[in-house]
């Protein structure tokens, strides 16, 4: 038998009174476990008569051992009975204990209360999407750029050229790790080197040597290079320039885009892709604006443990996505110092995410929004198709509890967006009529 009571904003108390039979049996088991460790002179360990062993084990020790053995099971039963969603490990308190009774209390960290009113009709509206011919041509030029060939040129390095160089960097005359390369092809203007490096190559001729002075940025990823002045000895071997081809059917065939065989079809394909992407961007922008408005209206005292959990998840995801890329940079280490820096940078975003999640959960509860088994199955199928995976593999990667929560948030947003979108469309129609 258990009782539930909210004791403060993000804490609740579960009190479990253990039934007598269970409590008596637990004491017997505790005694047997402790008895195996007791040695009585003249008997093998654990083999002495019970009355002699009991003389060496204080009754209080047996009771505490029995209570600790029961605690986890009592907690799980009480959590299930009252549908408590724990956000961290509870604190155990023994309220009453003797051979006849055991009363346990668990101080449970739970989600905080969310105070929010007037959350409807906040003005959801997506920006109109438009794609110009100039933007389509820019994408065509990117295709041309990807198919460009490099040709040797005479004369000095210019912006947009590719210079084949040797370089070696040093700080105070001492070379540093990762600061040396030979026959490196560097596109001038790409911004792939330290600020100021590429610009100083402009005007250099093949076989010319030069010392280039640069300063590493204060936020450079390698701690030992941050803000340091460096000198690079550079030698230009060759200068190349790009020759961009015109788009023809041969290039279009190489692109291998289904149902695209002509330049006009390629332009339509590009326009459709840009349109769809901008629609997604417009929806995301409007969604974030709506969430910001909800965030401003809500009063929530977010527990530190929830912020820490969100931060840990964000930092871990950052590490998974970028470790390989960053480890290829000179002197980079994804160590605890870097993680702490990330936590500092991401803290406000973590708070915002937690608040938004709590707000959507509260509104979803008020609006009686539920996710059906059919909707869950459909989402698993959609994700499987999107990532070309087996449905069962997706289920193993994304537990139903996580996906259900995500779907519930989306449905909650759809409800909030739907009301506002209809009002915005009606207003636009009225303005156009006028």
CA distances from 341 to 89, 345, 377, 397 (A): 27, 6, 40, 29
What local confidence, expressed as pLDDT, does residue 335 receive? 79
Burial of 68: CB neighbours in 10 Å, binned 0-12, 13-18, 19+: middle
CB 90 within 8 A of CB 107: yes
Alpha carbons within 13 A on the beta-carbon side of 63: 15
User: Rounded CA gap, 121 and 309, in Å?
Assistant: 32
Q: Give the model's confidence band at 41: pLDDT under 50 very low, under 70 low, under 90 confident, else very high.
A: confident
Q: Which carries the bigger pLDDT value, residue 428 or residue 127?
A: 127
Banded model confidence at residue 323, pLDDT cuts 50, 70, 90: low
Q: What is the mean pLDDT of residues 388-406?
A: 93
Tens-place pLDDT, residues 182-223: 999 999 999 989 999 999 999 999 999 999 999 999 988 888
Give the pair of three-digit tokens for residue 104.
Answer: 């346990």
> Quick one: pLDDT band at residue 400, thresholds 50, 70, 90?
very high
Query: CB atoms < 10 A from the CB of 17, how many?
Result: 16
In this structure, are residues 86 and 12 in contact, taking their beta carbons and an 8 Å threshold?
A: no
**Poorest-confidence range of 5-19, 109-123, 323-337, 349-363?**
323-337
Residue 430 has pLDDT above 80, yes or no: no
pLDDT for residue 359 = 97
User: Band of the pLDDT at 36, cuts 50, 70, 90?
Assistant: confident
- pLDDT at residue 50, rounded to an integer: 85
Output the CATH code of domain 2-109.
Answer: 3.30.70.1050
pLDDT of residue 423: 47
For the chain, the average pLDDT equals: 90
Q: What is the mean pLDDT of residues 247-267?
A: 93
- pLDDT band of residue 253 (cuts 50, 70, 90) is very high
State pLDDT tens for residues 276-287: 999 999 999 999
CATH 1.10.3120 boundaries in the chain = 254-433
pLDDT band at 76 (very low <50, low <70, confident <90, very high): very high
Question: Which pLDDT value is given to residue 431?
Answer: 39
Q: Are residues 114 and 358 in contact, defined by beta-carbon separation less than 8 angstroms?
A: yes
* Max CA distance (Å), the chain: 106
- The pLDDT value recorded for residue 67 is 97
Q: What is the mean pLDDT of residues 359-381?
A: 95
* CATH 3.30.70.1050-classified regions of the chain: 2-109
> Which DSSP state fits 182?
E
User: Distance between CA 308 and CA 350 in Å, rounded?
Assistant: 8
429 — pLDDT class (breaks 50, 70, 90): very low
Question: Which pLDDT does position 376 carry in this prediction?
Answer: 96
Given this model, what pLDDT does residue 113 score? 94
Predicted local confidence at residue 122, as pLDDT: 86
Q: Which CATH number fits domain 254-433: 1.10.3120, 1.20.120, 1.10.1740, 2.60.40?
A: 1.10.3120
Q: Quick one: pLDDT at residue 291?
A: 94
Separation in Å, CA 24 to CA 60, 72, 148, 392: 14, 17, 83, 45
Section 235-262 average pLDDT = 93
Asked whether the predicted pLDDT for residue 164 surpasses 90, the reply is: yes
Arithmetic mean of pLDDT, 34-44: 84
Mean pLDDT of 300-320: 92
Ranges in the chain annotated CATH 3.10.50.40: 149-243
- Topology annotation, domain 149-243: Chitinase A; domain 3 (3.10.50)
């Amino acid at each position: 038998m258990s009782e539930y009571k909210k004791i403060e904003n993000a804490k609740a108390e579960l009190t479990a009174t253990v039934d007598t039979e269970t409590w008596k049996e637990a004491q017997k088991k505790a005694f047997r476990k402790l008895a195996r460790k007791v040695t009585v002179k003249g008997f093998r360990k654990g083999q002495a008569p019970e009355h002699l062993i009991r003389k060496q084990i204080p009754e209080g020790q047996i009771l505490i051992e029995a209570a600790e053995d029961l605690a986890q099971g009592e907690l799980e039963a009480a959590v299930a009975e009252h549908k408590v969603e724990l956000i961290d490990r509870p604190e155990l308190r023994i309220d009453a204990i003797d051979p006849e009774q055991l009363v346990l209390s668990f101080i449970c960290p739970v989600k905080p209360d969310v105070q929010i009113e007037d959350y409807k009709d906040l003005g959801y509206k997506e920006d109109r999407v438009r794609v110009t011919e100039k933007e389509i041509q820019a994408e065509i030029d990117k295709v041309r750029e990807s198919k460009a060939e490099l040709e040797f040129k005479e004369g000095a390095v210019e912006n947009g050229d590719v210079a084949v160089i040797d370089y070696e960097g040093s700080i105070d005359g001492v070379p540093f790790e990762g600061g040396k390369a030979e026959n490196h092809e560097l596109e001038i203007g790409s911004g792939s080197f330290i600020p100021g490096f590429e610009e100083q190559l402009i005007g250099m001729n093949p076989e010319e040597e030069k010392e280039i002075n640069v300063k590493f940025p204060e936020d450079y990823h390698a701690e030992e290079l941050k803000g340091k002045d460096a000198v690079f000895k550079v030698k230009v071997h060759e200068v190349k320039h790009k020759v961009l081809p015109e788009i023809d059917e041969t290039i279009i065939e190489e692109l291998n885009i289904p149902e695209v065989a002509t330049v006009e079809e390629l332009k339509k394909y590009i326009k459709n892709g840009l349109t769809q992407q901008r629609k997604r961007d417009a929806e995301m922008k409007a969604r974030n604006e709506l969430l910001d408005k909800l965030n401003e209206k809500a009063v929530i005292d977010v527990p530190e443990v929830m912020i820490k959990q969100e931060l840990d998840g964000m930092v871990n995801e950052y590490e998974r996505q970028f470790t390989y890329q960053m480890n290829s940079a000179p002197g980079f280490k994804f160590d605890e110092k870097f993680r702490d820096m990330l936590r500092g940078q991401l803290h406000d975003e973590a708070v915002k995410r937690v608040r938004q999640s709590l707000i959507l959960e509260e509104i979803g509860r008020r609006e009686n929004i539920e996710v059906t088994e059919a909707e869950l199955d459909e989402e698993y199928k959609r994700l499987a198709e999107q990532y070309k995976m087996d449905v069962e593999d997706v289920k193993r990667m994304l537990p139903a509890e996580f996906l259900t929560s995500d779907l519930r948030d989306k449905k909650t947003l759809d409800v909030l967006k739907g009301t506002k979108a209809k009002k915005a469309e009606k207003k636009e129609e009225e303005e156009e009529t006028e």
